[in-house]
Amino acid sequence: MSRTVSKRHRKQKIAFTILGLGLVLLLVFLLLMFYFILSKGLKVISWEFITQKPRNGMTEGGILPAILGTLYLTLGAVLLATPLGVLTAIYLTEYAKKGKIIRIIRIGVNNLAGVPSVVFGLFGLGIFVKYFGLGVSIFSGALTLSIVILPTIVRASEEAIISVPDEYRKASLALGATRWQTVKNVVLPAATPGILTGCILGIGRVAGETAPILFTAVTFFSMRLPNSIFDETMALPFHIYALVSEGTFPAKQIPIAYGTAVVLLTMVLLINLVAITLRIRYGDKTKHQ
Amino acid sequence: MNWRNKEKFIHGILFIFAISSIIFLTGIVIVLFKEGLPIFHRIGLLDFILGKEWYPTYDPPDFGIYPLIMSSLLVTFGAMVIAVPVGISSAIFISYILPAKYKNFVKPIIEMLAGVPSVIYGLFGMKVLGPFLADKLNLPTGLIALNAAIMLGIMALPTIVSIAEDALSSVPRSFRDASLALGGTMWETIMKVNLPIATSGVTTAVILGMGRAIGETMTVLMVAGGASMVPKSFLLPVRPMTATIAAEMGEAAIGSPHYHALFGIGIILFIITLMFNILADVASQSFKKKVSAR
């Protein structure tokens, strides 16, 4: 008896080790990737690199236009998508009756989240660039990206609204407030930190997206900064791709690509870190209530 | 306006916003078909899907996307061979074996990895993994299907791990306690009790990971090599559907057959990912029923 028990425990030990190895493998690979990118990119980073325009046909100088372009595109997308996402979430959680309509809307949101990014690019090209005649521009790109992040914002807002305790609503309704007054004055303020987290996650996701802006917003080379939302623009992720695949002076341009990758990676990871920290803090708070 | 009417009005407005996702999805379908259908009229759906030659810029051009479809499937299959075992074992390890204090640390890291932009993976695959593979396997180039499969596998992992982990963690604790109380070891409990209950949840994770892999664009564009032949081996360059669209749309004149053909590829890609999403949805519904019914 004791021998079979110890045999079973040994089996468990072996199995757990193998499972753990999987996780370790994953983490090691990722550390390796970060190490390579950082070790090659950090050398290039300097104050000039992030505050100056490219010079000499993209072989020298900085990446300021790409940083600004990504900033405009990302902020534009989040500003457009947030009202839409939050209102959708309010409808799903506070207004709709359980049943078919909710189910259909949720299938819509889930499927939108699963659409390949390059298909969003095709959609943006077909409708914003061509049909609405907005051309290849920041505006077209931001519109396209706003659809890409809509599902992220809907889900985060929904979660935030659901986690507002029901007593809040009941207290407000019992005082004679209408449903909308309750949502506006009680539920939304309480859900704001969660919704904000969703928006920040959306920013993190959208800042690195390349395929949706490929045909709708970006250009490889631009001497000047964009003047209006109807100008085309450079963008960080596209800049990396363009430098390594279309560049004509690889010896000088590939280091710039690594530098750009470090800037983009730092931006995205910082944004995610902020969102995750916010969520952990906020999550703890609701537990205490 | 009295408050009842106002409430009704607001309800209506919110409903219009709420169906925006469906409107966009419909919009995508309309745009894809409007711009893609001309190619089916020109060469026929079957010749488009089963044609073995993709030479859009030749005269006369060939628009057969069979090699592109097979490239996408090959690369996705390879990615799953890597991501499914590693992902599921990581998920099991995180949800049942890892002590809570590490779990709170590892889960956010994995979530953060889901946020790493695909160009970064592409850059790594192109400049580090590519030369490494070429060197070790004695190949003229490391930009091959294997490279794309490895990178896509890594990229699909965060999706698979975090959704599978959610599913495993939501199996009621009483099940585990009952099995342990009967003298089962933790490993036996995981294999015979928890995993079978969570199967549909884990399936959802795998399908969503597959959807992510087949729709991934920038990474495969950078690392897959780009040869539009019917793929014969993991060690040769391939050209998946997403990479084709991304690489060629810039050169295709708007309204040309090539332009319509690229939208045609978009239609096929959209249908494939739609099927994945619907399957994932069905699996996740059945999981929810299972966990809540017992």
Element (H, E) at B55: strand B54-55
Model confidence over B234-265: pLDDT tens digits?
Answer: 999 999 999 999 999 888 888 889 999 999 99
Mean pLDDT value across residues B135-146: 91
> A23 vs B120: CB contact, 8 Å cut-off?
no
> Residues B93-122: what's their mean pLDDT?
86
Task: Convert the pLDDT of each residue in A157-178 to its tens digit.
Answer: 998 999 899 999 999 999 988 8
The minimal CB distance from A241 to the residues B6, B161, B222 is found for B222
Give me the pLDDT at residue A222, please: 65
Of A202 and A139, the one with more pLDDT: A139
Beta strand extents in chain A (DSSP E only): 54-55, 60-61
Report the CATH number at residue B141. 1.10.3720.10
pLDDT at position A250 is 78
pLDDT score of A237: 92
What confidence category does residue B104 fall into, taking pLDDT thresholds of 50, 70 and 90? Answer: confident
Full residue range of the structural domain in which residue B248 is found: 9-293
A176: left (phi over 0), alpha (psi -120 to 50) or beta: left
Q: What is the average pLDDT value for chain B, to the nearest integer?
A: 90
Chain A from 144 to 203: CB within 8 A of any B CB: 147, 150-151, 154, 178-180, 201
Count, residues in chain A: 289
pLDDT of residue A287: 43
Q: What is the pLDDT of residue A289?
A: 39
Handedness of CA B241, B68, A114, B220 (dihedral sign): negative
Which of A202, A11, A27 lies closest to B161 in space, CA to CA?
A: A27
Written as six digits, the tokens of A96 are 């709709």
| Segments making up each domain of chain A, as ranges | 64-288
Residues of B with Cβ-Cβ distance to A245 under 8 angstroms: 221-222
Q: Quickly state the pLDDT bin for A201 (edges 50, 70, 90).
A: confident
Residue B71 CA from chain centroid, whole number: 14
> What is the mean predicted confidence (pLDDT) over A214-242?
81
Question: What's the maximum distance between 2 C-alpha atoms anywhere in chain A?
Answer: 80
Nearest to A122 among B85, B266, B278 (CB): B266
The residue type at A146: S
Instruction: Please list the alpha-helical segments (H only) found in chain B.
Output: 3-18, 20-43, 45-50, 66-92, 100-114, 118-124, 130-137, 145-169, 173-181, 186-189, 195-215, 218-223, 241-248, 257-293
pLDDT greater than 70 at residue A232: yes
Average pLDDT value for residue range B113-129? 91
ipTM of the modeled complex = 0.91
Phi, psi for A60 (deg, rounded to 5)? -140, 175
Residue pLDDT, tens place only, B187-219: 889 989 899 888 888 999 999 999 989 999 999
pLDDT reported for residue A245: 84
Is the pLDDT reported for residue A288 higher than 50? no
Query: Is B161 an interface residue toward A (CB < 8 Å)?
Result: yes
Sign of CA dihedral B189, B195, B198, B201: positive
State which residue of chain B sits closest to A12, comparing Cα positions.
Answer: B187
Q: Which band of pLDDT confidence, cut at 50, 70 and 90, is reported for residue A3?
A: low
C-alpha pair distances (Å), A215 with each of A98, A125, B27, B173: 40, 6, 18, 50
pLDDT band at A25 (very low <50, low <70, confident <90, very high): confident
pLDDT surpassing 90 at residue A15: no
To test the contact with chain B by mutation, choose from A29, A122, A127 the residue with the greatest count of B C-beta atoms within 10 A, namely: A122
Residues 165-184 of B with CB under 8 A from A: none
Q: Tell me the residues of chain A between 246 and 275 that have a Cβ less than 8 Å away from chain B.
A: 254, 257-258, 261, 264-265, 268-269, 271-273
Q: Name the least confident of B95-109, B139-153, B215-229.
A: B95-109
pLDDT at B154: 92
Number of domains in chain B: 1
DSSP state of B62: E
Q: Is B188 on the interface with A (CB under 8 A)?
A: yes
% of chain A residues with pLDDT over 90: 38
User: Poorest-confidence range of A44-58, A84-98, B132-146, B195-209?
Assistant: A44-58
Bridge partners (DSSP) listed for residue A29: none
pLDDT tens readout for residues A179-196: 899 998 999 999 988 888
Higher pLDDT, B292 or B233: B233
pLDDT, averaged across chain A: 86
Residues of chain B in contact with residue A254, where contact means CB-CB under 8 angstroms, are 127
Question: In chain B, which residues have their Cβ closer than 8 Å to the Cβ of A30?
Answer: 113, 154
In a domain, B2, yes or no: no
Cis ω on the peptide bond leading into residue A250 (within 30° of 0)? no
Do residue B28 and residue A258 have CB atoms under 8 angstroms apart?
no
What average pLDDT score do residues A189-216 get? Answer: 88
How close B174 gets to chain A, by Cα (Å)? 21
Q: What percent of chain A is predicted at pLDDT more than 70?
A: 95
Q: Kindly report the nearest CA distance between residue B232 and chain A, in angstroms.
A: 25
Residue B60 belongs to some domain of the structure: yes
What fold is seen in the domain A64-288?
A: MetI-like fold (1.10.3720)
Q: Which residues of A touch B221 (CB under 8 A)?
A: 241, 245
Q: Which of B:218-277 have CB within 8 Å of A?
A: 218, 221-222, 242, 245-246, 249-250, 254, 262-263, 266, 269-270, 273-274, 276-277
B1 domain-assigned: no
Predicted pLDDT of residue A78: 93
